[in-house]
Each structure stands twice: as C-alpha cells, then as structure tokens.
C-alpha cells in the first residue's frame, strides 16, 4: 500500500508516494498490520487493551511529515471487535499537530454507530473534535455543549472518506464527497502556529482500517 504525500508550493507541486514500511510508521499504544479488506489493501489498527482512558494518544504516527496548515484526507472503515464494550461506537479518525513525545495533539474522529441510531442525541454525537491533553470530549461536551460535535450519516463496515482542512486556528471536516463541512472548529486549542506529525487514530472496541492517505501542505 502506498501513502500519497503531496507538498503544495506557490508554483509547483511535488508528489511523493511513501510505502507503508516500518521506518515510516510508529505504533503508539496500538497494534498495526497490513491486510486486505473488501478487496483493498489497508492498514489495520487496534487500540492496546491496557490503555483504559479514552481520547488518548492511540494511533499510528506517520513519520517524516511535519504538518501545519493544509488538507489531510484518508479513507477509513471501522468494525466493532468481538469483545467491544457496550459503549463502543466504532471510533476512528485522524490526529494532527502531534509533538515529538506524542503528548500533545489535536484530533477529529467519527462514531459510525451513532450516525443511524434511533436516539437523536446519539446522532448529534456522530463527529467529535478534541485536543490532547487538556480538552478531551467530556470536558468539551460539559463546557461547550454541541460546539465540538455534530451529526452526519455514516455506518460501520463501510469506507468513509475523511477530509480535514486546517487553516491557522480553524479546522473543518468533510465526509465523502460533501461540498459542505460536517464539523467546523474555529478555535483549535493548540493555536494557529501548531505543527507536528499526523496519526491514524482509533479508540476502544474498534477494528480500524485506513487507506489512501493524502496530505496537501499550504
């Protein structure tokens, strides 16, 4: 499988394809393996069961990319593990602006089971932004209800395209071919000058798959 890494310049575009090799990927409290699913090669990622807290740095870090502003796009598919807890939602998403020690980053992820739930409140929690370490989902939901979450149609066991556009202190999430964002964040908690690595993130109970990662730097 190849990762497409695109650097956008003012007059030229330099495209580089990067193989998913051990020197490019770092598993951070997750297990990872290259597998074939639905006829596509993808990276399988599962959170380490010893990590009990939620919204933690549990991702595959992509080495060699220092991302500040631009677009991150990836296709994701999630399933529930056989031993997933009742509150598992198929959590899967992206981390960005990850510092060198993996102790500070931003994240936007989805909860696919919520997208078609019969409970409207759960539907409203289909998409989530959080900032590690100080602004996990529970604090944001408590202090600013609805501001960092939103609804979009989605489901388990289907390929979903996530496209995160970061510009200064703001970020937008687009799903699939939608022209309008499904989530708008105007105050990224690490500020307008944050930069760092990109990560492929999963949460408890998720068997997550990632493919076709593309990065456009502004």
Summarised one tens digit per residue, pLDDT across range 33-86 is 999 999 999 999 999 999 999 999 999 999 889 999 999 999 999 999 999 999
Q: Does residue 119 sit within a domain? A: yes
Q: Is the pLDDT assigned to residue 7 strictly greater than 70?
A: no
Q: Does residue 182 sit within a domain? A: yes
> What CATH number should be reported for the domain holding residue 196?
2.60.120.560
Least confident of 20-29, 172-181, 196-205: 20-29
DSSP class per residue in 180-201 = S-SEEES--TT-TT--EEEEEE
Q: Does residue 2 sit within a domain? A: no
The parent domain of residue 114 ranges over 26-210
Q: Does residue 7 sit within a domain? A: no
Mapped onto helix, strand or coil, the DSSP state of residue 21 is coil
**Other residues' Cβ atoms within 10 Å of the Cβ of residue 144:** 12
Q: How many domains does the chain have?
A: 1
Whole-model pTM: value is 0.91
CB 174 within 8 A of CB 181: yes
Q: Does residue 5 sit within a domain? A: no
Q: Does residue 176 sit within a domain? A: yes
Over residues 94-116, mean pLDDT: 98
- Alpha helices, DSSP H, located in the chain: 120-123, 137-143
Q: Does residue 9 sit within a domain? A: no
Over residues 169-186, mean pLDDT: 97
Over residues 157-182, mean pLDDT: 97
> What pLDDT score was predicted for residue 10?
36
Q: Does residue 8 sit within a domain? A: no
> What pLDDT score was predicted for residue 35?
93
């Amino acid at each position: 499988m190849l990762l497409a890494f695109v650097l956008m310049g003012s007059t030229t575009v330099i495209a580089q394809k990067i193989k998913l090799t051990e020197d490019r990927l770092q598993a951070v409290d997750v297990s990872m393996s290259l597998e074939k699913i639905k006829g596509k090669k993808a990276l399988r990622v599962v959170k380490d069961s010893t990590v009990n807290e939620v919204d933690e740095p549990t991702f595959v870090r992509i080495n060699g990319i220092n991302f500040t502003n631009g677009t991150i796009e990836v296709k994701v598919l999630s399933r529930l593990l056989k031993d997933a807890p009742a509150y598992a939602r198929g959590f899967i998403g992206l981390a960005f602006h990850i510092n060198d020690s993996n102790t500070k980053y931003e994240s936007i992820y989805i909860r696919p089971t919520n997208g078609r739930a019969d409970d409207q409140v759960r539907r409203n929690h289909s998409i989530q932004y959080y900032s590690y370490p100080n602004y996990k989902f529970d604090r944001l939901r408590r202090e600013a209800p609805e501001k960092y979450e939103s609804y979009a149609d989605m489901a388990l066991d289907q390929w979903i395209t996530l496209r995160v556009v970061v510009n200064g202190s703001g970020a937008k999430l687009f799903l699939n071919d939608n022209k309008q964002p499904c989530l708008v964040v105007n105050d990224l908690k690490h500020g307008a000058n944050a930069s760092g690595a990109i990560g492929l993130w999963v949460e408890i109970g998720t068997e997550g798959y990632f493919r076709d990662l593309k990065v456009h730097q502004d």
